[in-house]
Amino acid sequence: MKNLMFAAVLSLGTMTAFAQEEETTVEEVATEQVEATQDDYTEIAAEEVPAAITEALEAAHPGATISKAFMNEEAEYKLEVAKEDGETAELYADAEGNWIEK
């Protein structure tokens, strides 16, 4: 009887340990994915966006305004833009105002 009780306790403890380990792994993966996305670009003030990009934006999307701007280490810019018709867009450009497909 003692062996049966010992086996049941051991079995329950093992299943709990595996469940906790898997949960931690899922959380770690989700955290790593979010950090990877955010680490690529750093938010900057819209006024810091080079004039070449603002001119390219006006030419490609007349009346659009920059809501948020981000820059990465390669001097590539990610822009969150509000268009005149109420739509929003996420655009990418290099420092010379050339559009980048992402």
- pLDDT tens across 59-99, in order? 999 999 999 999 999 999 999 999 989 999 999 999 999 99
> Could you tell me the residue range of the domain that residue 45 belongs to?
41-94
Distance of CA 71 to the CA centre of its chain: 13
Q: What angle do CA 49, 78, 52 make, to 5 degrees?
A: 35
Residues 59 and 78 in one domain: yes
**pLDDT at 49 exceeding the cut of 90:** yes
Residues 85 and 63 in one domain: yes
Q: Please indicate, yes or no, if residue 5 is contained in any of the structural domains.
A: yes
Residues 55 and 80 in one domain: yes
Residues 73 and 84 in one domain: yes
Question: 2 versus 77: which is more confidently predicted?
Answer: 77
**pLDDT at 35 exceeding the cut of 50:** no
What's 86's DSSP letter? S
Residues 29 and 59 in one domain: no
Across 29-41, average pLDDT: 57
Across 53-61, average pLDDT: 96
DSSP, residue by residue, 7-58: HHHHHHHHHHHHHHHHHHHHHHHHHHHHHHHHHH-EEE-GGGS-HHHHHHHH
| % of the chain with per-residue pLDDT over 90 | 57
